[in-house]
Chain A
Amino acid sequence: MSVVAKIVRAQARDAIRSRWLLGYAAFFFLLTEGVIRFSGDGPKAVLTLASATLIVVPLVTLVLATIHVYNAREFTELLLAQPIRRSSLFKGLYLGLALPLAAGFVAGVGLPFLLHGGGDPANRGAMITLVALGAVLTFSFTAISFSIALFAEDRLRGLGVALGLWLLVGLLYDGLVLVAVALFSDYPIERPLLALTFANPVDLARVLLLLKLDVAALMGYTGAVFQRAFSGALGPSLAAAMLGVWITAPLMLGARQFRRKDF
């Protein structure tokens, strides 16, 4: 087994015993169970869960992952004093946190659907998309958290940046886009708007999911523009590729900082 896998195994063993992670999984379990009981397992359930996922997953991931990196600082130093490469250690620490977080989300949302016989068959594609997008967002925001915590020495500052980022991408983004649209309504703004969608992983996930559900009315402004701009499979493929960039880019930034950092 590689050094990376060994670090992942030990870190994951620590993480899955954490009350926070168990609470996180339990939250999604209860939410999903409740939604299925009250509104069935149709598109409406997926939509409700999607709204919760797009808000909660980035928030919890940013907060838990940022705090984790700061709390693990001393132990990270101990591991750095072992004869292992920094790049291996970084990968191990990242995956050792991102995998349990993603697993907590997937289990929390997935289990109730399995318990209810897999949900409405017509709806299964959207359901799987939702679970996959939640996991992808977890990987992306864990990578972003690592970058934030490695660049900001001060933990309060780091946590502030993480929360500020969540406010921006999770809550304020669509509102800011609408303001921009209102201000620049005399100009052709479709292309800049598309760029804005690509600049926000939460928006990308939302657009992907709503395209799958085919409810353009609920897509917000950027989603509507997105659907008009891309026909067929091009839009979703581009959005998915861009989400991949939202994992790899912060990860590479964090890895670079980790390799050079003075601990």
Chain B
Amino acid sequence: MIEVSKVTKRFGDNQVLRGVDLTVAGGRVMGLVGPNGAGKTTLIKTLLGLCQPTSGEIRIDGETILGTEGSYRARIGYMPQIARFPENLTGAELFDMLRDLRGEPGALDAELLRGFSLDGQLDKPLRVLSGGTRQKVNACLALLFRPSILVLDEPTAGLDPLSSAILKDRILSLRSEGVTVLVTSHIMSELEELCDDVAFLLDGVTRFVGPVAQLTAMTQKANLERAIAALMIREVA
């Protein structure tokens, strides 16, 4: 469960978040949408403690995360937008490094490993892997320690359609296992496939938070893409 209330974040003169309120209930998938620069990545970084919010409150599973040592992060699997790893390590060494750091015997997700056909890729230096393959490594890394919360920043960017489908299937099967997911994407059809709820972020403010069906009904549109477009037009007008 992720609870974000009245979170603001200012970088110098730049007020990126102006009041974000959202709750992702346990076992649900929430899609975070909004135009470029709306503050999606900043919000995600704030959840993970990479950024400290200027004001507001964030709770993970009911406990505040602000001012803590960050042990709550053991429960979160994070897939950053840009997958860049130490160039001269191999994928296998990267997984070993994380296992070693956490002192946990994290197991590679069997379903992803099979679907991504990563065999043979994990013994090569990460620098020679293609962007898509690195993104697959990124996905495996996020699932390495069986997290109860997943935070995915444009998870399918750079993946081929087959791998993208495998990852989405895995996200849905994890949801049925009770994993809570927060995911950003610019592909609305993808979010429609994955999400129970959607949060629409514009200029650092959550303008809509609720079930996908509620949004489409409210805007009287056939699908999420049209509904979000209608929201954006309404906000700009």
The chain A residues found within 8 Å of chain B, CB to CB, are: 3, 6-7, 9-11, 13-15, 17-18, 71-75, 77-85, 262-263
Report the minimum CB–CB distance from A16 to chain B (whole Å).
8
| Chain B count of residues within 8 A CB distance of the other chain | 33
Assuming A74-B83, A74-B84, is B93 touching A83 (CB within 8 A)?
no
Assuming A262-B50, A262-B52, is B101 touching A82 (CB within 8 A)?
yes
- Selected from A6, A7, A84, A263, the residue in CB contact (under 8 A) with B70 is A84
**Contact indicator A3/B80 (Cβ below 8 Å):** no
Report the minimum CB–CB distance from B12 to chain A (whole Å).
10
A10 to B69, CA, bound (A): 23
**Contact indicator A81/B89 (Cβ below 8 Å):** no
A-B contacts counted at CB < 8 A amount to: 78
Give 10 A-B pairs besides A17-B88, A77-B80, A83-B71 with Cβ atoms closer than 8 angstroms: A14-B89, A74-B84, A75-B84, A78-B78, A81-B50, A82-B73, A82-B98, A82-B101, A83-B72, A263-B51
Can you pick out 17 interface pairs between chain A and chain B where the beta carbons lie within 8 Å of each other?
Answer: A6-B97, A6-B100, A7-B101, A9-B100, A10-B93, A10-B97, A13-B88, A13-B89, A14-B87, A74-B80, A78-B85, A81-B73, A81-B78, A81-B80, A82-B98, A262-B52, A263-B50
Assuming A11-B86, A13-B93, A14-B86, is B48 touching A81 (CB within 8 A)?
yes
Residues of A within 8 A of B73 (CB): 81-83
Residues of A within 8 A of B226 (CB): none
A14 to B91, CA, bound (A): 12
A78 to B95, CA, bound (A): 12
A9 to B89, CA, bound (A): 12
Assuming A78-B80, A81-B78, is B88 touching A14 (CB within 8 A)?
yes
A24 to B128, CA, bound (A): 23
List B64-78 residues whose CB lies under 8 Å from chain A: 69-74, 76, 78
**Contact indicator A3/B86 (Cβ below 8 Å):** no
Chain A, Cβ-Cβ closest to B84: A74
Assuming A262-B50, A263-B45, is B102 touching A10 (CB within 8 A)?
no
Residues of A within 8 A of B72 (CB): 83
- Selected from B70, B97, B141, the residue in CB contact (under 8 A) with A83 is B70
A74 to B153, CA, bound (A): 13
Chain A, Cβ-Cβ closest to B141: A78
Residues of B within 8 A of A83 (CB): 70-74, 102
Chain A, Cβ-Cβ closest to B75: A83
